[in-house]
Amino acid sequence: MTTDSIPVAVEFTGGLELLFSNQRKHQVTLPARGTEGTPSTVGYLVKWLCENLIRDPRKDMFVLDDSVRPGILVLINDADWELEGEEKYELQANDEIVFVSTLHGG
């Protein structure tokens, strides 16, 4: 591992895994810094997933209007991303990012 890349564990649950080759857990490696030299954020990760990992053409099931669609919770190391600064959270090596689609059945 070099310092200019960040390994991140990504997981999809609540049915979102269907959009990602029906696989829940993915180990991905992102560039540590974006094109402007700023640290990579969760917002960048979402964009990166749309460009590199999503296999299903229905990207709008994951992202709407440049943000994660309503009904998906983003968890950063087991905490709602709203507690961590949402998109602006700067990724650390081995962070665990989970995307949870809310369920409604009962």
Partner 1 sequence: MDPTFSADAQVQRLRQHIAATESQLTALKLQLQQAEQAAEIASYLNGAYQGGLAADWRDEICGALQYDTPRPLPEDTWQDGESGGPTSAKWTTDHVSQQRWPLQSEEYKRYGRQMIMPEIGLHGQLRLRSAKVLVVGVGGLGCPAAAYLAGAGVGTLGLMDGDTVEVSNLHRQIAHSSARVGSMKVDSAVEYLRSLNDCVNYESHPHHLTPEKAISTFEQYDLVLDCTDHPTSRYLISDACVLTGKPLVSASALKTEGQLIVLNNPARPPGDASGGPCYRCIFPKPPPAETVLSCGDGGILGPVVGVMGVLQALEAIKLLTAKLPPTDLDWAMDLAADEVPAPAELVRPTMLMFSAYSTPQFRSVRLRSRRAACAVCSTEATITRQNLTSGSLDYVAFCGVTTPIKALATTAQVTATQFSQLPTDGSNVLVDVRDETQYAICALRGSVNVPWTGNADTWLEEAIRVGAVAELGDGRDRYFVCRLGNDSQLAAKAVMDNVLEGRAKDIKGGFRAWREEVDPSWPDY
Q: How far is the CB of 53 from partner 1 (least distance, A)?
A: 16
Residue 39 or 80: the one with the smaller Cβ distance to partner 1 is 80
Beta-carbon contacts of 6 under 8 Å, excluding residues fewer than 6 positions away, are 29, 30, 31, 32, 40, 91, 92, 93, 95
Cβ–Cβ < 8 Å for 39, 30: no
Q: How far is the CB of 27 from partner 1 (least distance, A)?
A: 16
Residue 36 or 60: the one with the smaller Cβ distance to partner 1 is 60
Which residues contact partner 1 (rule: CB under 8 A)? 13-15, 24, 56-58, 60-61, 64, 69-73, 75, 78-80, 82-83, 98, 100-106
Q: How far is the CB of 102 from partner 1 (least distance, A)?
A: 7
